[in-house]
C-alpha cells in the first residue's frame, strides 16, 4: 500500500533529533509555553522575516484569534475564496461575521483577484487569501485592493509554510499571517499546533493575551480570551524539524515536477505554478472528470488518494443561512467534483512514485 503521506517515515529519518527534543522537554518540567515555545516563535519570525510570532493550539485558533485581534465581529463581512478548507469560513462565522465568498482561479485555486472589489461593501472589514495546497495567492494586487478600501488582510498560510510570492515568504504580507502545524503539514507537529505572525507589536500583544484567557498578568483577565497555547512538547518537536523544512519542501517540488513530467503528456490536468510563485506542494492535486472512478481504481491498486475538498464552504450546512446556492461559484464547485490528491511526501521513493504513475497511465489508457 502506498500511503498519501507517511509520518512514520519522516520520524525515522530524524529519530535521534526528535527523541532528544522530547526527552529534553520531559526533563525541563516546562510543558505549557516556556522557553521551548519562545525559541520556536523566534525561529518562525526569523524564517518569515516578521517581527512577532505567537504559538497557538491550532491553525483554526490562529484564524479566530487573528479575527478577534482585528476587532472583527457581529455585523462585519470578510472576503474569502470559494474553495478552501471549511475553517476559513467557519472561523469568520464563529466571531459573528459573515463570510463573503469570491470564486477562484480554476487553475491554481487561489481567490480570483478580478472579483474581489465587486464583493466589497461598507460592512467589509478584511480579506482572507488562502495559499491553498502550497501555491501562493497573488499578494500584491490583494494588498493594493485592501489599502485602497481600508481593509485588513489575514493570510491563511496553513498549507503554504515556506512558499514564496515574488521571492518573499507567504504569511509575511498581510496584517496577520496564520499557520498550522497539523501533523500532515509541510512542517507538522505530533498533535495540533498553530501560530500567528505579524509586524505590529500591538496586534502581537493582543494575540498573546487572547491565547491565554485575556491575560497580560496571570489571572487578571482584561478581555474574554481562549486557552490556545502551543505546548512545549510540540514546540520542541517542531524546532527539531525546522532545519529540515526547506530541504523537505525542495523534495516535494522535485517529486511534484516529476509527477507533472510524466502525467501531463497523458492529458491529466496537473498543478500550475505561476511565474511569480514558489509552490511548496503541501498537496499534489490533479483533476479528472472521472475523479471518483479514478480514486476507486487507485485504491484497487493499493494507492491512497484523497479529495480536498468535496464540498465548497458555500454549500455547507452552516452557510445556508447566507443564501448561497449551487451554481454561485462554478469554478469552486467544479474543482470540488474533479480534484484529487496523489501520494506526496519527502520520503516517497521514486519506485513508489513510479507505481503511482504506472497506475495513472493504465487508467488513462482504459
CA distance 1 to 3: 6
Does residue 1 lie in a domain region? no
C-alpha cell at 133: 495546497
Query: What per-residue confidence (pLDDT) applies to 227?
Result: 97
Q: Is the pLDDT of residue 77 over 90?
A: yes
- Work out the average pLDDT over 182-188: 98
* 18 and 161 Cβ atoms separated by less than 8 Å: no
Question: 60: buried, middle or exposed (CB in 10 Å: 19+, 13-18, 0-12)?
Answer: buried
Instruction: Report if residue 5 sits inside a domain.
Output: no
- Residue 8 included in any domain: no
% of the chain beyond a pLDDT of 70: 100
Cis peptide before 191 (omega within 30 of 0): no
- pLDDT tens figures, 315-327: 999 999 999 999 9
Residue 228 has pLDDT above 90, yes or no: yes
Rounded to two decimals, what is the model's pTM? 0.97
Domain limits for position 114: 15-243
Q: What is the pLDDT of residue 366?
A: 79
Q: Do 77 and 131 share a domain, yes or no?
A: yes
Q: What tens digit of pLDDT does each residue of 249-308 get? A: 999 999 999 999 999 999 999 999 999 999 999 999 999 999 999 999 999 999 999 999
pLDDT, mean over the chain: 97
The CATH number linked to 131 is 3.40.640.10
Domain boundary among 225, 243, 261: 243
Confirm whether 2 is domain-assigned: no
Instruction: For Cα atoms 54, 60, 65, give the angle at the middle one, nearest 5 degrees.
Output: 50
Number of domains comprising the chain:
2
pLDDT digits (tens, 9 = 90+) for 93-110: 999 999 999 999 999 999
pLDDT at 63 over 90: yes
HSE-up of 70 (CA within 13 Å, CB side)? 29
Average pLDDT over residues 140-147: 98
Amino acid at each position: 500500500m502506498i500511503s498519501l503521506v507517511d509520518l512514520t517515515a519522516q520520524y525515522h529519518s530524524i529519530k535521534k533529533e526528535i527523541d532528544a527534543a522530547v526527552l529534553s522537554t520531559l526533563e525541563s518540567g516546562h510543558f505549557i509555553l516556556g522557553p521551548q515555545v519562545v525559541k520556536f516563535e523566534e525561529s518562525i519570525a526569523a524564517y518569515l522575516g516578521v517581527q512577532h510570532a505567537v504559538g497557538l493550539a491550532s491553525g483554526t485558533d490562529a484564524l479566530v484569534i487573528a479575527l478577534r485581534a482585528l476587532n472583527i465581529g457581529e455585523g462585519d463581512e470578510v472576503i474569502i475564496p470559494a474553495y478552501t478548507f471549511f475553517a476559513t469560513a467557519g472561523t469568520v462565522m464563529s466571531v459573528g461575521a459573515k463570510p463573503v465568498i469570491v470564486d477562484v482561479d480554476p487553475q491554481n485555486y487561489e481567490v480570483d483577484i478580478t472579483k474581489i472589489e465587486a464583493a466589497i461593501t461598507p460592512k467589509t472589514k478584511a480579506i482572507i487569501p488562502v495559499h491553498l495546497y502550497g501555491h501562493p495567492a497573488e499578494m500584491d494586487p490583494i494588498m493594493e485592493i485592501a489599502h485602497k478600501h481600508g481593509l485588513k488582510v489575514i493570510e491563511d498560510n496553513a498549507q503554504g509554510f515556506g512558499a514564496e510570492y515574488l521571492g518573499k515568504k507567504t504569511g509575511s504580507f498581510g496584517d496577520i499571517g496564520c499557520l498550522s502545524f497539523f501533523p500532515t503539514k509541510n512542517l507538522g507537529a505530533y498533535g495540533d499546533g498553530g501560530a500567528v505572525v505579524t509586524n505590529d507589536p500591538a496586534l502581537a500583544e493582543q494575540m498573546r493575551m487572547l491565547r491565554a484567557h485575556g491575560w497580560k498578568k496571570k489571572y487578571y483577565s482584561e478581555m474574554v480570551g481562549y486557552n490556545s497555547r502551543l505546548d512545549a512538547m510540540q514546540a520542541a518537536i517542531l524546532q527539531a524539524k525546522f532545519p529540515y523544512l526547506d530541504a523537505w519542501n525542495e523534495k516535494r517540488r522535485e517529486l511534484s515536477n516529476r509527477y507533472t513530467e510524466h502525467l501531463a503528456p497523458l492529458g491529466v490536468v496537473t498543478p500550475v505554478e505561476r511565474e511569480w510563485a514558489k509552490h511548496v506542494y503541501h498537496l499534489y492535486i490533479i483533476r479528472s472528470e472521472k475523479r471518483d472512478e479514478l480514486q476507486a481504481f487507485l485504491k484497487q491498486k493499493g494507492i491512497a488518494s484523497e479529495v480536498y475538498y468535496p464540498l465548497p464552504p458555500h454549500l455547507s450546512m452552516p452557510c445556508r443561512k447566507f443564501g448561497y446556492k449551487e451554481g454561485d461559484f462554478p469554478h469552486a464547485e467544479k474543482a470540488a467534483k474533479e480534484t484529487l490528491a496523489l501520494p506526496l511526501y519527502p520520503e516517497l521513493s521514486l519506485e513508489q512514485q513510479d507505481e503511482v504513475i504506472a497506475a495513472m497511465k493504465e487508467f488513462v489508457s482504459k
